[in-house]
A and B are shown apart, each in its own frame.
Chain A
Amino acid sequence: MPRSLWPWTAVLVVLAVMAAVPSLFTGIDPDAADLNAPLHPPSAEHWLGTDQNGRDLYARIVYGARPSLLIGTGAVLLALAAGVVIGVAAAQLGRVADQVLSRSLDVVLSVPGLLLVFLVVAVLGPGSGTAAVGLAVVSMPGFARVARSEVIRLRSAQYVEAAHGFGWSRAQVVARHVLPNAAGPVLALATVSLGAMIVASSSLSFVGLGPRPPTAEWGAMLSDSREFLALAWWPAVFPGVAITVAVLAVTFVGQHLNRRVEGRLS
C-alpha cells in the first residue's frame, strides 16, 4: 500500500472502531441535554461546541458514526447480495427469465430513487434498517446488471469452455470459474458505491427518513442545524466534515483495493 494511503486507512480504522465502541472516544453521553448550554461554541469543555439542546457535538459525531456508516454499508451489502443473485439468475436461467428480470430492473431504475426509498420507508416505517433497505432497493439494479454482464461474458470465455471439456457439470463450472472471476468487477462496484451510499443515507436522514431522533446521525444533525444557521455555524459544519472525510477514506482505500484486484486478474 502506497504511503499516501496510510492516513486514509487510519481514518477508516478509527471510524470502524468509533462505530463499534464509541465509548472509547468520549465519556460524554451524546443524548445528555444540557439546558444551560444550548449552542455553545467550540471550547475546552465542548471541543466541537454544543447543539441547540446543549448536547456535546463531538460526542454526537462519535456516536453518530455507527448509524451514519452502518446504513450505507448495510445498503451496499444488501444490494450486493440481491443484485448478484438476480444478475446470475438472469444470465443463467435462459432468455425469458433474463427478459423478465432485466425489465424489472428497468422498472426499479425508472422510479426516481428518493421517491422509491420514500415509498419503501413509508411501507416499513422510518428507521435505520428500513432506510438501508430502501437504499439497497434503489442501488440493486446496478449490481444485478454488472453481475449479469460479467457472467454472460465469462460464459463464453475460453477457460470456461475448456473447463467444460474436463467434464465438470455446468454448476461446477459456474462455481469454479464464473462466479470467482465475476466477483472482481462486482466488488469494485461495491467499493465505489459504498461512498455514494454513505452520502445517500445522510441525505435520507436529512429529509427525515433516517433513524429516529434523538439518535445522533450526521445527516440528521445537519438537518437540525439549519434552523440555527444564523446563530451557530459549528453544528452545520462538523457533521458535514465527518461525512466527507468518511466518504473520502472509503473512496481512496476502495480505489486502491480495486486496483490491486484488477492487477491480480489481468
Chain B
Amino acid sequence: MLVLALAAGCSSDADGTARVAGGAASGGGAGVASPRSGGTLRLAVEKEPECLDPHQSPTESARLLTRPLVDSLVYQDPRGGLHPWLAREWTVSDDRLTYTFRLREGVTFTDGRKFDASAVVANLDHVVDPKTKSLLAGSLIAAYESAKAVDPLTVEVKLKRPDSGFLSALAQPNLGIESPATLKGPASKLCAVVVGTGPFKSDGGFTPQKGIDYVRNPAYAWAPEGAARGGPALLDRIEVTVVPDNSARLGALTSGQVDAVTGLAPAGIGTLKNTPGFALHTTRFPGANYSYWPNTAKGPLSDVNVRKALRAGIDWRRIVKNVYFGVYDGADGPLSASTPGYDHSVAAAYGYDPAEANRLLDQAGWTQRDAQGYRTKDGKRLTLRHMWSDPSVGNLAVQIQAAAKQLGVELVEENLDGGTFVNRLLAGDYDLIDTSFSSPGPDVLRVLFGADNIPTPKRGISNNMARYDNPETEAAFKRALGAKDQAEQFGVYAEVQRRITEDAAVLPIYSPLSTLAAREGVRDVRFNVDGTPDLSGIWLAS
C-alpha cells in the first residue's frame, strides 16, 4: 500500500519505448478463425494512472490506457524498427539537430478537428512547457529546442544537441498527438479525458478506482505501416476496470466477470496454467531486469569483490524459479536478453559459484565468522541494509535473505514508508535497493549508470541507484548520444555492459513479464513496443 508508487513507478518509467522479444502473442491467441468485428472487451487492469494524460503521467498504465486514444508521429514495431504513422516520412540533417516531418493527410481528431502541422507543434511545446508539469514525456525529449510548421503538412523540429533516441521517443504514447483544443484547456481536464486521432475514443474518460470505457472510432483509416491491420478496430467497445487486488482480478477472470486481465501475479499465472478455457499471453519487458542495485559509493558494497561475491554466491535462478513458479526467467546481465543492443558475451559472468564467492569475500577481508555464522571484518559484521517499499517483493526478499545467510552475509530488510525511503535514497543511505526498469533500448543504461542521474537532495529523485560514477562509461554515453546509426550506438552500449559487469554494478535477478490473461475467445493479442498489450488490435471470436 505504502508508496508502491516508487518501485512500481520505476519498473516502467524513464526512457519509454520497449521492443518485444518474440513479438506476437504466445499462447492460444493468433486466430485460427478469421477476424470478426464487434463485441465488447471487458478488461481488468492492475494499476491505474494518477492522471490519464500521457504528456503529464509517467506511468506504464497511462501508456496502456492512452495508446488506443492517441497516435504518434512515428511507429516503432515490436522488433524496434521505425515506420511512418502520422508522419508520412521524415529527414534528419547531417548535424542531427534538425528533423523534418511530412505529415499524413486527411487525419482528424475524434473531436472532429483536423490534424496538421500546427497540432504537432502545439503538442511538442505543450509537453516541454514547465506548466504542464510533465513527469516523463518532457525528459524523453530533453534535447528538444523548438518546432515550427513550415506548411500545413510539414513540421521542422530543432534539437539542442544530437539525440540518437529522439525518434523512438516520439513513438511513445507519452508523445502521442492530442487535439490542440484540449491542450489549451486546464491540465486537470486532460487527466480525465484525452482526445486524439486513435482507433478508439472515450468521451467519459478515466475515473480513478473505476476505469475507462472506449468506443470504436469508425473514421479511423491511418493505422501505421507494419501494423497487423489497417482500417478501424474490430472491437465495438473496450471497458477497462481497475482491480488492484491480484486474487480478485484472477477471480473476476475465472468467474467470467471480465474477458481479460493484465499484470497477473506469478501465483495467478501458475493457477491459470492449469485452468482450461483460458489463454496466457506474455512478453518479456525489455530494458533493465528486476535487480538489486548495490550502493557502489559507500558501505561494504563499495568493494567490487563483495559485489561480485554476492552475484556469484547466491543461486538467483533457483530462487526466482521457486518464488515465481517458474514463470519468470533468470537474468544474464544489466539488460534483459530481449533488449535491443543486449550483449550476450556478458552472460557467462552471471553464473552460480559459491566457492568463488567465498574466495572473494575472504579476499575482501571478511574472513571471521560470528556466533550466528555471519562474516566479520575487524569485529564488524557483514551487514547489508536492503531498502524496499513494495511489500509485493517480500517473498523474493525473504528467500534472498536466507541464501545470503548461507554465504555469511546478513541482509537487513527495511520496509520503509515513502518519505523515509526518499530521504535515504537521496542521502545515499542504503546498501541495496530493488527495482526493475522497462525500456526500449540500451539507452536505459545512460539513465541507470550516468553520473548525472545519481539521486541527491539537490537533484531530487533520479535513477542511478547504484550511484555508479565511472569516467569510461561517462565518455561512452556521450559517444552513444552522438552515434550516427543504431549499429554504432549498440556497439558503444556493448562496451558499457561489459564494463558494468566487470564492476558488478548491478545484481540482476529476473526479466519481468508483461502478461495478459484472457478467455480463449479473445484473439490477436499483441504487445506494444513498450511491452504493454495492444488493445486496439484485439478481436473476439465469440
Q: Which chain A residues have a beta carbon within 8 Å of chain B's beta carbons?
A: 31-33, 35-36, 38, 52-55, 121-122, 125-126, 207-209, 212-214, 224, 226-231
Q: For residue A38, which residues in chain B have a CB less than 8 angstroms away from its CB?
A: 322
Cβ distance B116 to chain A, nearest Cβ, rounded Å: 49
Task: Give bound CA distance, A228 to B395, whole Å.
Answer: 12
Q: Could you list 15 further interchain pairs (A-B, Cβ under 8 angstroms) beyond the known A52-B267, A230-B254?
A: A31-B402, A52-B323, A52-B395, A121-B417, A125-B417, A125-B420, A213-B394, A213-B397, A214-B394, A214-B401, A227-B246, A227-B267, A228-B267, A230-B268, A230-B271
Q: For residue B401, which residues in chain A have a CB less than 8 angstroms away from its CB?
A: 214
Q: For residue B416, which residues in chain A have a CB less than 8 angstroms away from its CB?
A: 125-126
B247 in contact with A122 (CB, 8 Å): no
Chain B interface SS verdict (over half): helix
Task: Give bound CA distance, A212 to B386, whole Å.
Answer: 13
B413 in contact with A213 (CB, 8 Å): yes
B319 in contact with A35 (CB, 8 Å): yes
CB contact under 8 A between A226 and B246, given known A207-B1, A213-B397:
yes
Contact residues of B between 235 and 266, Cβ < 8 Å to A: 245-247, 250, 254, 265
Name, among B395, B413, B414, B416, the residue most crowded by chain A CB atoms within 10 Å (CB to CB). B395
Q: For residue B398, which residues in chain A have a CB less than 8 angstroms away from its CB?
A: 31, 33, 53, 55, 213-214
Asked whether any CB of chain A lies closer than 8 Å to the CB of B391, the reply is yes
Q: Find B247's partner among A31, A208, A229 (CB 8 Å cutoff).
A: A229
Task: Give bound CA distance, A32 to B419, whole Å.
Answer: 31
Task: Give bound CA distance, A230 to B271, whole Å.
Answer: 7
Q: Which chain B residues have a beta carbon within 8 Å of chain A's beta carbons?
A: 1-2, 245-247, 250, 254, 265, 267-268, 270-271, 318-319, 322-323, 391, 394-395, 397-399, 401-402, 413-417, 419-420
Q: Find B395's partner among A53, A122, A126, A209 (CB 8 Å cutoff).
A: A53
Q: Find A226's partner among B245, B395, B402, B415 (CB 8 Å cutoff).
A: B245
Q: Find A126's partner among B254, B267, B268, B417 (CB 8 Å cutoff).
A: B417
Q: For residue B268, which residues in chain A have a CB less than 8 angstroms away from its CB?
A: 227, 230
Task: Give bound CA distance, A155 to B2, whole Å.
Answer: 48
Cβ distance B81 to chain A, nearest Cβ, rounded Å: 38
A212 in contact with B415 (CB, 8 Å): yes
B399 in contact with A35 (CB, 8 Å): yes
Cβ distance B256 to chain A, nearest Cβ, rounded Å: 15
B415 in contact with A126 (CB, 8 Å): yes
Q: Which residue of B lies closest to A32 (CB)?
A: B402
Q: For residue B2, which residues in chain A have a CB less than 8 angstroms away from its CB?
A: 122, 126, 208
Cβ distance B319 to chain A, nearest Cβ, rounded Å: 7
Task: Give bound CA distance, A175 to B427, whole Å.
Answer: 53
Q: For residue A213, which residues in chain B have a CB less than 8 angstroms away from its CB?
A: 391, 394, 397-398, 413, 415
Name, among A126, A207, A224, A230, the residue most crowded by chain B CB atoms within 10 Å (CB to CB). A230
CB contact under 8 A between A212 and B247, given known A224-B394, A227-B265:
no
Task: Give bound CA distance, A204 to B1, whole Å.
Answer: 11
Q: Find A230's partner among B247, B318, B322, B395 (CB 8 Å cutoff).
A: B247
Cβ distance B246 to chain A, nearest Cβ, rounded Å: 6
Q: For residue A125, which residues in chain B have a CB less than 8 angstroms away from its CB?
A: 416-417, 420
Name, among B246, B318, B391, B401, the residue most crowded by chain A CB atoms within 10 Å (CB to CB). B391
Q: For residue A121, which residues in chain B have a CB less than 8 angstroms away from its CB?
A: 417
Chain A interface SS verdict (over half): loop
19 A-B pairs with CB atoms under 8 Å apart are A33-B399, A35-B399, A52-B395, A53-B398, A53-B399, A54-B322, A55-B398, A122-B2, A125-B417, A212-B414, A213-B391, A213-B398, A214-B397, A214-B401, A226-B245, A226-B246, A230-B250, A230-B268, A231-B267
Cβ distance A51 to chain B, nearest Cβ, rounded Å: 9
Cβ distance B313 to chain A, nearest Cβ, rounded Å: 15
Q: Which residue of A lies closest to B271 (CB)?
A: A230
Task: Give bound CA distance, A36 to B323, whole Å.
Answer: 10
Q: Which residue of B lies closest to A51 (CB)?
A: B395
Task: Give bound CA distance, A1 to B11, whole Å.
Answer: 60
Task: Give bound CA distance, A85 to B146, whole Å.
Answer: 67
Q: For residue A122, which residues in chain B have a CB less than 8 angstroms away from its CB?
A: 2, 417, 419
Cβ distance B154 to chain A, nearest Cβ, rounded Å: 53
Task: Give bound CA distance, A58 to B399, whole Å.
Answer: 19
Q: Which residue of B lies closest to A35 (CB)?
A: B322
B413 in contact with A214 (CB, 8 Å): yes
Q: For residue B419, which residues in chain A have a CB less than 8 angstroms away from its CB?
A: 122
Task: Give bound CA distance, A191 to B441, whole Å.
Answer: 62
Q: For residue A231, which residues in chain B have a CB less than 8 angstroms away from its CB?
A: 267, 270-271
Cβ distance A126 to chain B, nearest Cβ, rounded Å: 6
Cβ distance A212 to chain B, nearest Cβ, rounded Å: 4
Task: Give bound CA distance, A53 to B396, whole Å.
Answer: 9
Cβ distance A66 to chain B, nearest Cβ, rounded Å: 18
Q: Which residue of B lies closest to A124 (CB)?
A: B417
Q: For residue B247, which residues in chain A have a CB less than 8 angstroms away from its CB?
A: 226-227, 229-230
Task: Give bound CA distance, A233 to B254, whole Å.
Answer: 17
Cβ distance A122 to chain B, nearest Cβ, rounded Å: 5
Task: Give bound CA distance, A172 to B336, whole Å.
Answer: 76
Q: For residue B318, which residues in chain A have a CB less than 8 angstroms away from its CB?
A: 35
Q: For residue A126, which residues in chain B have a CB less than 8 angstroms away from its CB?
A: 2, 415-417
Cβ distance B314 to chain A, nearest Cβ, rounded Å: 12
5 A-B pairs closest in CB distance: A212-B415, A230-B271, A213-B394, A33-B402, A226-B247
Task: Give bound CA distance, A122 to B399, whole Å.
Answer: 27
Task: Give bound CA distance, A38 to B265, whole Å.
Answer: 16
Task: Give bound CA distance, A213 to B412, whole Å.
Answer: 11
B271 in contact with A208 (CB, 8 Å): no
Cβ distance A133 to chain B, nearest Cβ, rounded Å: 14
Cβ distance B206 to chain A, nearest Cβ, rounded Å: 25
Task: Give bound CA distance, A229 to B399, whole Å.
Answer: 21
Task: Give bound CA distance, A69 to B137, whole Å.
Answer: 49
Q: For residue A52, which residues in chain B have a CB less than 8 angstroms away from its CB?
A: 267, 323, 395
Task: Give bound CA distance, A121 to B391, whole Å.
Answer: 16
Cβ distance A132 to chain B, nearest Cβ, rounded Å: 17
Task: Give bound CA distance, A224 to B395, whole Å.
Answer: 9
Task: Give bound CA distance, A228 to B247, whole Å.
Answer: 8
